[in-house]
Amino acid sequence: MREKVETALAQIRPALQADGGDVELVDVTDEGVVKLKLKGACSGCPMSAMTLKHGIERLLKQHIPEVKEVVAV
């Protein structure tokens, strides 16, 4: 499943990089929890929680039904 998550994140990454940020995949658990680290401008952005839940998590769940939750670490 890690490869599927990396592929999906590759679709999101250009939008994050355009705003000076990025995302790093830290881990994918057997329970379907994806652990991400927001980097650059995203790490201190007040909208990062919204980006994580309503943007990244939504897209990952659409493409990979096994994903149950996305959390920042």
CATH number of the structural domain spanning residue 44: 3.30.300.130
pLDDT at 45: 85
Global model pTM greater than 0.85: yes
pLDDT per residue as tens digits for the range 21-73: 999 999 999 999 999 999 999 888 888 989 999 999 999 999 999 999 999 99
SS3 at position 44: helix
Domains held by the chain: number: 1
Residue 28's domain spans which residues?
2-72
Chain segment 11-24, per-residue pLDDT in tens? 999 999 998 999 99
Half-sphere exposure of 6 (CA within 13 A, CB side): 5
